[in-house]
């Protein structure tokens, strides 16, 4: 892997990125859900609902939610897999995982396992899960190709990978508005609501550094998946990639 990588628009040592990202999410964890609602005008809940509906997860399945944070997907997966299924909510960040645990308890959702892990080195056997999901987390991973290979490894044949992530819009009008909103409004709201303007500046920059739809599709296929398709949401501001292990 290269010795340097991007942290937002900055070049940093590869070995340093993980700790820098951890610092961002340590800072924003307690206000993460509130900020998601404010910054997306509630649309993130619709994007996640679409992801769940696209998963084909059924009763008895095993699901791994990576970078699951405050548990939005895990809660819905728990309902779908039923008493005989298994849902693991994972995150590299202990503060985010703590918020997820608190959120599930407050919602009366039990039976979800919590694991702190690095997406590049998943501590599970080959062919374990029916579904692996990662929502708004892949762009923060240092070695995305390695993480995708790991997701492929732990999926069962026929298993489904779901990547929900900010992406690239082809609409010039929407792009201009989104650029203004991302760099002029988001950090200011982060400063007002979460008392952390710098972290939301990084999050806006990290979106711009993330691969576009076609590039990510190619990365998924290169990781070993036999099939990958994507669906643009909100004009391509967000995309859901779905890969199948054959």
- pLDDT 10s digits, 64-119: 999 998 999 999 999 999 999 999 999 999 999 999 999 999 999 999 999 999 99
Cα–Cα dist 202/9, whole Å: 8
pTM to 2 decimal places: 0.92
Residue pair 17/7 in contact by the 8 Å Cβ criterion: yes
Instruction: Kindly tell me the sign of the dihedral angle through the C-alpha atoms of 180, 93, 53, 146.
Output: positive
Backbone angles phi, psi at 7, to 5 degrees: -125, 95
**Is the pLDDT at 1 greater than 60, yes or no?**
no
Greatest alpha-carbon pair distance for the chain in Å reads: 48
Q: How confident is the model at residue 23 (pLDDT cuts 50, 70, 90)?
A: confident
Average pLDDT over residues 112-133: 97
Rg of the Cα atoms in the chain:
17
Cα–Cα dist 246/240, whole Å: 19
**Is the pLDDT at 163 greater than 80, yes or no?**
yes
- Partnered with residue 65 across adjacent β-strands are 89, 133
Residue 97's nearest CA partner among 67, 124, 73 is 67
Domain 4-244 CATH class label: alpha beta
């Amino acid at each position: 892997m290269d010795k340097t990588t991007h942290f937002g628009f900055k070049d940093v040592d590869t070995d340093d990125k993980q700790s820098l990202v951890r610092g961002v999410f340590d800072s924003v964890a307690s206000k993460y859900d509130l900020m998601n609602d404010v910054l997306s005008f509630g649309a993130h809940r619709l994007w996640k609902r679409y992801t769940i509906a696209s998963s084909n997860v059924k009763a008895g399945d095993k699901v791994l939610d990576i970078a699951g944070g405050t548990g939005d997907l895990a809660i819905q997966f728990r309902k779908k897999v039923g008493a005989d299924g298994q849902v693991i909510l994972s995150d590299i960040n202990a503060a985010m995982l703590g918020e997820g645990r608190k959120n599930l308890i407050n919602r009366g959702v039990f039976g979800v396992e919590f694991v702190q892990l690095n997406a590049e080195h998943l501590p599970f056997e080959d062919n374990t899960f029916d579904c692996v999901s990662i929502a708004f987390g892949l762009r923060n991973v240092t070695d995305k190709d390695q993480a995708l290979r790991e997701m492929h490894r732990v999926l069962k044949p026929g298993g489904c990978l779901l990547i929900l992530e900010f992406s690239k819009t082809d609409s010039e009008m929407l792009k201009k508005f989104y650029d203004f909103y991302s760099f002029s409004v988001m950090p200011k709201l982060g400063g007002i609501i979460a008392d952390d303007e710098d972290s939301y500046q990084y999050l806006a920059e990290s979106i711009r550094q993330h691969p576009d739809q076609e590039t990510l599709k190619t990365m998924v296929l290169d990781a070993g998946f036999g099939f990958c398709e994507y669906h643009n949401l909100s004009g391509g501001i967000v995309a859901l990639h779905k890969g199948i292990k054959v």
